[in-house]
Amino acid sequence: MSYKNVVAEKTTITRDTVQIEEKTGNIYESIVAVSKRSNQISVEIKEELTSKLQEFASSTDNLEEIFENREQIEISKHYEGLPKPTAIATQELLDDKIYLRDPEEASE
């Protein structure tokens, strides 16, 4: 998934807990769902960043090449500027983009 055009906030904002609670009927279930989705997003972003930075990996890097690699610096800056995974996951929950499944109900 591309996180370039995500509409999540990049700064901390106050959230209406009633809106978050309405999605599952329980604020704690909503928080668990956001937490799990946030972890998934974090792993996806980290894998994407690692794969892009692997292109620059070299076993014979010298100190000058490390400091002068502008493309690598630009990629890193781009990922630093993305919204935090928790903000993305919270926005996905509010936009009904997260599928919630209760494992207890599925096993019965």
Domain range list for the chain: 17-97
DSSP state of 95: T
What is the rounded distance in angstroms from the CA atom of residue 16 to the CA atom of residue 19? 6
Element (H, E) at 74: helix 70-80
DSSP 83: P
Distances (CA, A) of 81 to 5, 6, 103, 108: 12, 12, 35, 44
Could you report the per-residue pLDDT of 10-53, keeping only the tens digit for each? 888 899 999 999 989 999 999 999 999 999 999 999 999 888 88
| Residue 99 pLDDT | 85
Angle 51-53-55 (CA atoms, 0-180°, nearest 5)? 85
Which of 56 and 61 is assigned the larger pLDDT? 56
Q: What is the pLDDT of residues 64-83, one digit of tens each?
A: 555 567 888 888 888 888 99
The whole-number pLDDT of residue 100 equals 83
Q: What is the pLDDT of residues 80-97, one digit of tens each?
A: 889 999 999 999 999 999
For the beta carbon of residue 81, count every other beta carbon within 10 angstroms.
8
